[in-house]
Amino acid sequence: MPTQSLQGLIETKQSFLCVGLDLDPAKLPAGLKPTPADMLAFNKAIIEATLPYAVAYKVNTAFYEAMGAAGWALLEQTRSLLPASVYTIADAKRGDIGNTARQYARAFLSVLDFDALTVNPYMGIDTLEPYLREPKGDIFVLACTSNPGFADFEGLKTEKGTYLYEEVVLRSEALQQSGRVHYVAGATRPEMLGNVRKLAPGATLLVPGVGAQGGDLASCFAAGYTVGGPLLINASRSILYAGSGPDFAELAAKEAAQMAHEMGVMLASL
């Protein structure tokens, strides 16, 4: 699904919820074991329960890669569970020289067939270009993230008086083609998210940090949502592990429904 179709899906579902499938074997509900079969069943139940409310799913690949070959197979199987009617993001945060970046692009955007991939720009703009040479797929460039170490690099002031993350957005926007370049902006810094929106008015912003990390949904919406440039608010732990018993999927659906309801009220106010 191209991001051009994402806005229509947001309007149809009256939601801009992205469910993060950050599968942690140690947090599986009672009755499920950390086996490939049970973990896939967990993901399937979460996807089916939240599908009425979510417009996108983000798979954090680290949780799968940590399990070795079995985890990579689980990643492939999980991707196959996600229908074409939603936007899919591989959250791999890849960043490397051009030749290597081309292989990452092929792996995630063509072989695994995700709609988008998160990428790390801090080796330079030339490391982003190979992803856009792939026949299809979007990139979400890390701009201002929600982690405490944001200030170490992203939040540094340049000689021009701008922040480093603003320079990342400005230079990445120069690569913009057919709406394929988008940004990650953390929910815990809505003022920074607003700055990203000003620099990239037509991009989709992937916003982690609402829910377990304490980001505020209303503040993020006010700072960054426009009809021409939507947000994807990601929620992972608050939905995946809303329940620890046999009713985990029901409680995940309840949490997703509540978030989608709040989003619908906000969208109606535009």
129-151 pLDDT tens trace:
999 999 999 999 999 998 889 88
Cα 54 versus chain centre, distance: 12
Q: What CA–CA distance (Å, rounded) separates 193 from 185? A: 5
* pLDDT on residue 212: 60
Q: How confident is the model at residue 5 (pLDDT cuts 50, 70, 90)?
A: confident
Range of the domain at 146: 3-268
d(CA 178, CA 202): 11
Count of all residues that appear for the chain in the document: 270
Q: Looking at residue 120, which CATH number applies to its domain?
A: 3.20.20.70
Domain count, the chain: 1
Q: Report pLDDT digits (tens) over 105-125.
A: 999 999 999 999 999 999 999
| Angle subtended by helix axes 248-268 and 217-224, to nearest 10 | 40
User: Which residues make Cβ contacts (< 8 Å) with residue 177, sequence separation at least 6?
Assistant: 132
How high is the pLDDT of residue 146? 84
Residue with the larger pLDDT of the pair 259 and 211: 259
Going by pLDDT thresholds of 50, 70 and 90, the confidence category of residue 179 is confident
Q: Tell the burial category of 34 from Cβ atoms under 10 Å away from its Cβ (0-12, 13-18, 19+).
A: middle
pLDDT digits (tens, 9 = 90+) for 90-109: 999 999 998 999 999 999 99
Query: Residue 142: which residues within 8 A CB-CB, separation 6 or more?
Result: 93, 118, 119, 120, 121, 122, 154, 168, 183, 184
Active site residues: 93
